[in-house]
Amino acid sequence: MADTLELSHWINGEKVGGDRPAESLNPSDTRDVVARTPDGTPADVDAAVQAARAAFPAWSEASPEVRSDILDRASNLLMERREQVGRLLSREEGKTLAEGIGETARAARILKYFAGEALRLHGQNLMSVRPGVEIQTYRQPVGVFGLITPWNFPIAIPAWKAAPALAFGNTVVIKPAGPTPATAEALVAILHEAGLPRGVLNMVIGRGGVGQAIVDHPGVDGVSFTGSQGVGAGVAMGAAKRQARVQLEMGGKNPLIVLDDADLDRAVAIALDGSFFATGQRCTASSRLIVQDGIHDRFVAALAEKLRGLKVGDALDPETNIGPAVSEDQRETSYRYIQVALEDGGRVITGGDRPQLDKPGWYVRPTLIADTAASMRINQEEVFGPVASTIRVSSYEEALEIANGVEFGLSAGIVTSSLKHARDFQRRARAGMVMVNLPTAGVDYHVPFGGTKKSSYGPREQGFLAADFFTQTKTAYSWS
């Protein structure tokens, strides 16, 4: 078994926090303790915010080249070490080794992208309505950002929040998710190794109290959060109370429509990836498969056949297709929803049982449930596991109405060879991201990311729109 890491907070460029009462466990084999960690307090958050505030003037006034170079160096270091960091990620989170290495490479590319964006902040010159008056708008750093990140992308999401915050001259306090502190720490350590000045990026490890202390701290100017809808609503209220800016990315109940004219093999491959890869633990996962009559039975049979061939196992075993759930809680949530779907009249086509492995881990069998109605709980509430249900429809219009009939709106997909339906779906799907003949999950790293309705709140993340949240615009008037 690999070594247990002894983690610390990062405050003002130093590792602090001697007591380590908490543990992160390997979900593939719970005898393996990945890391022992401190359990942060509001006092730790306060120290981190003070450090971030103290570091802000020099960092925000530094040449963008300084910020760009550090992000670029960190990107190169992370890319060189993607196998090692990816292995840690898979050991701690449970996605397969290929997925863990892929996510680490993606985090490296995000750092590289924002190394470039640091140099591309631009404003505008505008005419005034008053003769002789000139107007410019330009973007300035905001101050200190609190970043509260989830366990399901334990390095990519910390990178996609921290990189734009830092690139545009802000300083940061980050709280990594409880189950995955070691992976987030690897990113923070690499950024320091790349030359980040002390206090610019701080990390406090801990439970919900740490997140709350960040949201409530008067020295935090903005909060970016990815996680569940319930916690997100509280973050928004806490931030609004003291007029801090806030950005939330929350759940999804993403539909994938399969029309009669779809290429069957492609539809099956898209559903397999979107619904089940990364153990279904993506907010962009397609959990509702809305399938037209004429292809329904062939699609269900072919997808079930593929699912039966997937190997559920230890994330670090190269043969594994589906790693475990991240925690016992997440595993039980999947099985609870399978039960609820059965009670409501759904039919398990494949899965539903518990895989028997030779080691203690939080494994879930990929499960496909057919004959469900759009109004059932399995089709309204987020499961966040390798579980998908099918809904039979007779027309595109019926499919669209069901696709839009949930409180979430993150990502939505359609598989069709009809240009007319594809274009119509792009316009009318009530989701922040629309996919035609592509999985709902697995997005590019350099374009805007976010949803509608209860999935998101506040400005978009990533790509060229990240500057909207991580800078503030100044409008300057002059007369001479």
Residues annotated as catalytic are 249, 283
Q: How far is the CB of 147 from ligand UN1 (least distance, A)?
A: 13
Binding mask 283-302 vs ligand UN1 (x if CB under 6 A, - otherwise)?
xx------------------
Q: Does 443 bind ligand UN1 (CB under 6 A)?
A: yes
Give the C-alpha distances (Å, rounded to integers) separating 180 from 185, 186, 191.
9, 11, 18
Q: How far is the CB of 338 from ligand UN1 (least distance, A)?
A: 21
Pick the piece of the chain touching ligand UN1 (CB under 6 A) from 29-37, 181-189, 280-288, 304-312: 280-288
Q: Which of 7, 177, 441, 467 forms a contact with ligand UN1 (CB under 6 A)?
A: 441
Residue number, 149 or 367, with CB nearest to ligand UN1? 149
Residue number, 159 or 400, with CB nearest to ligand UN1? 159
E strands along 12-113, which residues?
14-16, 22-25, 33-37
| Residue appearing with tokens 């978009």 | 460
Beta-bridge partners for 377: none
The total of other beta-carbon atoms located within 10 Å of residue 172's CB is 27
Distance from C-alpha of 181 to C-alpha of 175, rounded to nearest angstrom: 9
Distance from C-alpha of 142 to C-alpha of 12, rounded to nearest angstrom: 19
Q: Which of 10, 153, 362, 363 forms a contact with ligand UN1 (CB under 6 A)?
A: 153
Q: Where is 162: in which H helix or E strand?
A: helix 156-167
Q: How far is the CB of 356 from ligand UN1 (least distance, A)?
A: 29
Distance from C-alpha of 228 to C-alpha of 174, rounded to nearest angstrom: 17
Pick the piece of the chain touching ligand UN1 (CB under 6 A) from 67-75, 279-287, 324-332, 396-404: 279-287
Pick the piece of the chain touching ligand UN1 (CB under 6 A) from 145-153, 303-311, 346-354, 401-409: 145-153
Q: How far is the CB of 447 from ligand UN1 (least distance, A)?
A: 11
Distance from C-alpha of 436 to C-alpha of 441, rounded to nearest angstrom: 12
Residues with Cβ within 8 Å of residue 375, at least 6 apart in sequence: none
Q: How far is the CB of 336 from ligand UN1 (least distance, A)?
A: 21
Q: Does 249 bind ligand UN1 (CB under 6 A)?
A: yes
Q: Which of 171, 226, 254, 287 forms a contact with ligand UN1 (CB under 6 A)?
A: 226
Residue number, 193 or 444, with CB nearest to ligand UN1? 444
Q: Which of 353, 5, 415 is nearest to 186 (CA)?
A: 5
Distance from C-alpha of 440 to C-alpha of 388, rounded to nearest angstrom: 13
DSSP per position, 331-371: HHHHHHHHHHHHHTT-EEEE--SPP--SS-------EEEES
Q: Which of 282, 288, 365, 421 forms a contact with ligand UN1 (CB under 6 A)?
A: 282
Q: Measured in whole angstroms, how far is the alpha carbon of residue 296 from the centre of its chain? A: 31
Beta-bridge partners for 450: none
Q: Does 448 bind ligand UN1 (CB under 6 A)?
A: no
Three-point CA angle 29, 378, 263, nearest 5°: 90
Q: Which of 26, 50, 96, 152 forms a contact with ligand UN1 (CB under 6 A)?
A: 152
Binding mask 154-193 vs ligand UN1 (x if CB under 6 A, - otherwise)?
----------------------------------------
Pick the piece of the chain touching ligand UN1 (CB under 6 A) from 45-53, 362-370, 439-447, 463-471: 439-447
Residue number, 110 or 443, with CB nearest to ligand UN1? 443
Residue number, 50 or 281, with CB nearest to ligand UN1? 281
Q: How far is the CB of 211 from ligand UN1 (least distance, A)?
A: 16
Asked if 226 contacts 197 with a C-beta cutoff of 8 angstroms, the reply is no
Using CB under 6 A as the binding criterion, the count of chain residues that bind ligand UN1 stands at 11
| Residue appearing with tokens 């120290």 | 47
Residue number, 157 or 368, with CB nearest to ligand UN1? 157
Residue number, 78 or 376, with CB nearest to ligand UN1? 78
The total of other beta-carbon atoms located within 10 Å of residue 22's CB is 17
Q: Does 379 bind ligand UN1 (CB under 6 A)?
A: no
Q: How far is the CB of 339 from ligand UN1 (least distance, A)?
A: 24
Q: Is the dihedral of CA 41, 43, 46, 48 positive or negative?
A: negative
Q: Does 438 bind ligand UN1 (CB under 6 A)?
A: no
Asked if 86 contacts 102 with a C-beta cutoff of 8 angstroms, the reply is yes
DSSP-assigned letter for residue 464 = G
Residue number, 219 or 458, with CB nearest to ligand UN1? 458
The total of other beta-carbon atoms located within 10 Å of residue 94's CB is 32
Strands 387-393 and 367-370: parallel
Residue number, 159 or 215, with CB nearest to ligand UN1? 159
Contact footprint for ligand UN1 (CB under 6 A): 150, 152-153, 226, 249, 282-284, 441-443
